[in-house]
Amino acid sequence: MYEIKFIHKDETTENPLYRPGDTAYCLTAASLSLEVGAAGELSISIPDANPAKADFVCLTDELIVYRDGVELWRGRAITRQEDFYKTGTLTCEGVLAYLYDTYYPPFEFSGSPTDFLQSVLDNHNAQVEERKQLRLGTVTVEDSNDYIARSSIEYNRTLTVLTDKLVNDSLGGYFRVRIVDGVKYLDYLASYGTTATQPVEFGVNLLDIAQNVEYSDLATVILPLGAKLEDSDGNQTDEYLTISSVNGGSIYYADEAAVAEYGWIVVCNIWEDVTEASNLLTKAKNYLAQVTSAVSSFEVSAVDLALVSAEYDYINLGDYVLIRSDPHGINQYVELTAMDIDLLDPANDTLTFGADSASLTDAQRSSDRNVQTALESLSARYTNLVATAITTDYLTAKYITADDIAALYVKADSLEAEVAAFGYLTADNAKLTYATINDLTAASATIATLQSTVAEIEAAYITVAAVDTLLADYATIATLTAYQANITELLSGYVTAGEVDAILVKAGYLTADSAAITELQADVADINTMLASYATIEYLSANYATVNDLTAYQANITELLSGYVTAGEVDAILVKAGYLTADSAAITELQADVADINTMLASYATIEYLSANYATVNDLTAYRAEVTKLVAGFVTASDVTAILVEAGYLTADSAAFTDLTAEVAN
């Protein structure tokens, strides 16, 4: 049977909290939820009469659940609620959650999974007290190369780092806390590796069964990505290693049988530590083999026969259990991945068998997050490149083209044609004649005429030599074509203005003090000015409430309101008592009656008025006592008559007696 004890901080004595059959240390409800790779959760309700209720301290005291004297779970209470009858309900988390109490700084790591796990635990243990420290235990998860590369630029909780960088980042497996002689060990297991000797059988201990088949994470094709590539200078680029070089030029690897059955369904996964295409292909094949079929799981209600007979061994979390039910067509060993245990009534236990979502679905979702992060990074870089790239319009505005030169300067052929048309030279002998003029001597008979003619030609036209001289200072069409090809190649990948400027400076087309650089610097200054007007995270943290603050405030409001009744509850009480119906008119009439009663009460004398103006019963009693006391000193009429008769002043005559009596009365 189950028993619960607790230990105070910095003590070793175990104190009772729940003992079966003990009317003092009893509970009204107790349930324990366990799951492979998770901390587990305990929920218990403690009556006010339980002596442990007032003694137990949340967060610092440790609770221990025993099953037949063997520790099953250990943890701490993180929430406490109390109802109208002062029954306290505790919600508790397992020891694995202690790894949420510390943060791991930004890091870059390369080495074995065991070394990484040890490094993270060392950092955790250096921050916490001894009772929350965890030692490295058994590690059965392996990497094919016994080498991983992991990094982060953020501060994250220790358990988040271990989960994201090991379990969800291709390695899989489970974390398990194991306690030996009071020392807490953290195991990292590929599987728990145990097989239960007790089966779950229809007609024996199987109470209910439901099978779930999940197709949402099925894939038939994988796009594997490895480490980021480096350029010729050894700088990391935004491109990833793919399998194209070892996969016939394709970056995809497909399971043809699965594609034939389900169609083309792609999953992408990134292995940042893989630098060889062949290793990447091996990992891709192994990964795809895990996701090409639907994920089946069983939810079973069963009785653990070890609770009723010593002949059986307990079924434990992580065990492979034989489930046999002929009516359901099931006869197979399945891993027990979760247990919901009712500590007060084991007949309500529920067992979950099948593939653990943390090792399959969550791993894929983590991979999707990694891919998405990579895509977002590329998208941001693309946006930045587009924003800073030198466009064709920019080049057109800044630099002269071949067409511009052609429009401004004439070609030699055009010059000769125009000279011939003008009448000074023929088209056939223009070059020859022009050369002959240069060879003429000063003694030629026609020198003056020719010189005059040449002067006129030189004044109106440009010579071929002069054109060549002018063109020597400008790029040729071939050069401009090559330059345009270079620009086109550069723009196809969108380079930044800084990178183009560097290329142009090196080629001699652009100086370091280019107007383009100045404009780009001005844009950067504008961006810095804009950023200066935005609130920082520190400002928001200092001036606005966080979600946690609001949640805590809501919890306080809820706790305060728990002691009050709502208007609806008051109405229900009045209706039940016969003072109020649901009809709004009746409520109005009741309010009118109350008003009438108040009016009537206003016309009645108050207690203060009566006390001031009228004698009370006590007053009259006292007055009567005083009168009696006074009368005790006087004689009655009969006494007077007897005295008078005896003295002879009065006879028995009735008339005289009556008159005397009347006088005495007067």
Q: Are 47 and 87 in contact (CB under 8 A)?
A: yes
SS3 assignment, position 337: strand
Place of tokens 């930045």: 384
The answer, yes or no, to whether residue 129 has pLDDT greater than 70, is yes
Please give the pLDDT value at position 271. 86
What does DSSP assign to residue 244? Answer: G
**C-alpha to C-alpha distance for 568 and 572, rounded to whole angstroms:** 6
The answer, yes or no, to whether residue 514 has pLDDT greater than 60, is no
Please give the pLDDT value at position 656. 53
Q: Which two tokens stand for residue 477?
A: 């069409």
Which of 351-355, 512-516, 525-529 is predicted most confidently?
A: 351-355
Q: Which two tokens stand for residue 91?
A: 């919600």
Please give the pLDDT value at position 303. 85
The answer, yes or no, to whether residue 158 has pLDDT greater than 50, is yes
Tell me the average pLDDT across 266-272.
Answer: 90
| Residue among 483, 617, 578, 559 nearest 80 (CA) | 559
Q: How confident is the model at residue 481 (pLDDT cuts 50, 70, 90)?
A: low
Q: Percent of the chain beyond pLDDT 90?
A: 36
Q: How confident is the model at residue 290 (pLDDT cuts 50, 70, 90)?
A: confident
Please give the pLDDT value at position 329. 84
Please give the pLDDT value at position 35. 94
Tell me the average pLDDT across 409-413.
Answer: 47
**C-alpha to C-alpha distance for 154 and 150, rounded to whole angstroms:** 13
Q: What pLDDT digit, counting tens, does each position of 605-664 carry? A: 455 554 565 555 565 566 566 646 665 655 555 665 677 677 776 665 655 555 555 554
Tell me the average pLDDT across 523-549.
Answer: 52
Q: What pLDDT digit, counting tens, does each position of 305-334 carry? A: 888 888 889 999 999 999 998 888 888 898
Asked which of 6-20, 162-176, 501-515 is least confident by mean pLDDT, the reply is: 501-515
Please give the pLDDT value at position 94. 97
The answer, yes or no, to whether residue 204 has pLDDT greater than 60, is yes
Up-side HSE of residue 1: CA atoms within 13 Å toward CB?
A: 8
If phi > 0 it is left, if psi is from -120 to 50 it is alpha, else beta; for residue 228 that is beta
Please give the pLDDT value at position 241. 94
**C-alpha to C-alpha distance for 283 and 271, rounded to whole angstroms:** 9
Tell me the average pLDDT across 575-603.
Answer: 56
**Runs of H (alpha helix) within 142-233:** 158-162
Q: How confident is the model at residue 105 (pLDDT cuts 50, 70, 90)?
A: very high
What does DSSP assign to residue 293? Answer: S
Q: How many CB atoms lie within 10 A of CB 432?
A: 11
What are the CA-CA distances from residue 307 to residues 35, 186, 258, 351 (Å)?
A: 20, 29, 45, 15
Please give the pLDDT value at position 526. 56
SS3 assignment, position 65: strand
Q: Which two tokens stand for residue 52?
A: 């442990």
Rounded to two decimals, the pTM is 0.50
The answer, yes or no, to whether residue 189 has pLDDT greater than 80, is yes
**C-alpha to C-alpha distance for 413 and 88, rounded to whole angstroms:** 105
Q: Which two tokens stand for residue 385?
A: 């490149």
Mean pLDDT for all residues in the chain: 73
